[in-house]
Amino acid sequence: MRPIALIAVNVFRESVRDKVLYNLVLFAVALIGASYVIGQLTAGQDIKIIKDLGLAAISLFGLFIAVFIGIGLVSKEVEKQSVYALLAKPVTRTDIVLGKYAGLILTLAVNLAVMTVALYAVLAVMAWMGMHPTPGLDPATLDPGLLTAIALIFVELAVVTAIALFFSTFSTPMLSAALTFAFFIAGRFSTDLDHFNTVTDSRAALWLTTGLYWVLPNFGPFDVRAEVVHGQPLPTGEILMTVLYGVLYTSALLVAATFVFSRRDFK
Amino acid sequence: MAAALATDDLTKDYRVGFWRTRPYRALDALTLQVQPGEVFGFLGPNGAGKTTTLKILMGLVFPTSGRAEMFGRPVGDLHVKRRLGYLPEQPYFYDYLTAEELLIYFAGLFGYRGADRRARASAVLDEVEIGAERRRPLRTFSKGMLQRVGIAQALVNDPELVILDEPMSGLDPLGRRAVRALILALRDRGSTVFFSSHVLSDAEALCSRVAILARGRLVTEGRLAEMLEFQVRGWDVVVAGVTPALQAALAARATRMTAIGDGRCAVELPSMYSPETIAADVASAGASIVSINPIRATLEDLFVQQVADAARQVERR
């Protein structure tokens, strides 16, 4: 466990030194700017819009971090040959894959935590400034349901990171980025694949779409933004099943990434 | 006692080509043993298979066939790695870290904790003479300084076996001298050193044994003294008080004669004439022998001859 933790801390340190956390400043500026504009233009709906916008921004910023750091995690190490000295130490190739993954998850967690605090801060300020129908810090403004949505975004990004990491064990960063984005977009529309039988009778097409439905990630259940923003109830069982699905899908990807990485020759 | 390092019929084929790939044999049935405490030079021209061998030993590439062991255990074993230090060729390290942070990170991977971890990092940086610059990011380091950091990280666990891939690469004369001294210091404290090089003077100055590799095959291996001892190809004799008659007598046997001045002459005799054969003539002419030195084949001569032989054998096949 110790080598994995040390490698993870090093990945986190690399993210900090490479100024990845600067995106947080961009996030804060974008959110505060949007809040000001929305406050001027809308009446009564501003808090809901800010919540929706904030969650979308957290998801988008997180996605960029997960993909653009994830694709370089292993490939950069191999390309620049820093893996030569690392593998000579008492670490296994599995330690390297898991350590790299854990490091990026730590980076994402810190990013999401700071963005969450920023979102709540903007909501609080808007409420205090009277942009809400009932000024003051009421429960509707500082809705803890946002945390559920953000937790699911975090699990979704953990899956995306595992996809990027998997591709980065055998592919170039550019191709890994393209494939990861393709998986992400396909995963968002995965439910449509399950309903393909309503638009075609072709058996081959149905086998293909059913196969893809089972192989591709299904990111649909991770998106509960609309429910949270509009205060609709979120069944705990469904949330837990979604988290479990994310954990299992991530585990399968990490096993596959380790399998590929453990058999690679570093020429 | 198990060999510090042993390979048996170690072979590596790479697939080359894009569409119809074909095998390219980078290493062909290498069998080698390095005993504990030895400084072993692994020599060969570029493309001979040295780095492929070292990568197999470090678990960076997998052999197509054959076996490689260190301390009687298969390569890649974590117990082996704990006793091992490795300097890659043209090493690259995380350039966002300082030299000190890199060494502390690597010391942690070897199980050092807390103050010990920091102290160990500091000690090896002192050993390679990286001073205050240890707190600068590695991206600001010159090639020579990076090489020294590379050597420091290879020694951070006080290894019993140190594998160095072209350790003199990128170093200025002072740096080379420091690395030579470091390798000898490692030998004196009982570590085994296995290093690849194509700089033969380094091997000649440092190694107890060498192996020469060419086109993936081991062409010769043994004690440096033995390999070169039997190849005395002549004698350099300096004679003082040379008369014209003596000069004529010596010229009949010498392959080369050079007048040094003040009646002194350097006489190069072929191996079939020992210096004793001219001693009587020198004495009777009232001259004297100032010095006698055997002309031995250098490692470079041996290297060129072995590599050329290997190339001829491959062409004949």
Looking at the predicted complex, does its ipTM rise above 0.95?
Answer: no
Give the residue-averaged pLDDT of A57-67.
Answer: 88
Domain boundaries, chain B: 5-228, 232-296
Question: Strand B65-70 relative to strand B73-74: parallel, antiparallel, unpaired?
Answer: antiparallel
Q: What is the pLDDT of residue A95?
A: 95
B67 and B144 in contact (C-beta within 8 Å)? Answer: no
- Taking only the tens place, the pLDDT of each residue in B97-124 is 999 999 999 999 999 998 899 999 999 9
pLDDT in tens, A217-230: 888 888 888 888 88
3-state secondary structure B8-32: EEEEEEEEECCCCCEEEEEEEEEEE
Determine the Cα–Cα distance for residues B43 and B33; give it in Å rounded to an integer.
15
Alpha helices (runs of H) in A169-235, residue ranges in sequence order: 173-188, 190-194, 203-215, 225-229
Is there a contact between A2 and B92 if contact means CB atoms under 8 Å apart? no
B110 touches chain A (CB under 8 A): yes
A85: nearest Cα among B259, B107, B235: B107
Distance from CA of B205 to the nearest CA of A (A): 27
Tokens linked to B74: 């298969």
B15 near A CB under 8 A: no
Q: Where are the domains of chain A?
A: 2-262
Distances (CA, A) of B187 to A10, B32, B183, B205: 33, 20, 6, 13
- Window A:245-264, CB contacts with B under 8 Å: 263
Tokens, residue A265: 């020759």
Q: Looking at chain A, which residue has its C-alpha nearest residue B60?
A: A266
CB atoms within 10 A of CB A85: 23
Q: Is domain B232-296 in CATH 3.30.70.100, yes or no? A: yes
Q: Structurally, what CATH architecture does the domain formed by B5-228 represent?
A: 3-Layer(aba) Sandwich (3.40)
Q: Span B281-308, mean pLDDT?
A: 81
pLDDT of residue A42: 64
Indicate the pLDDT class of residue B156, thresholds 50, 70 and 90: very high
pLDDT average, residue stretch B182-192: 91
The confidence score (pLDDT) of residue A153 equals 95
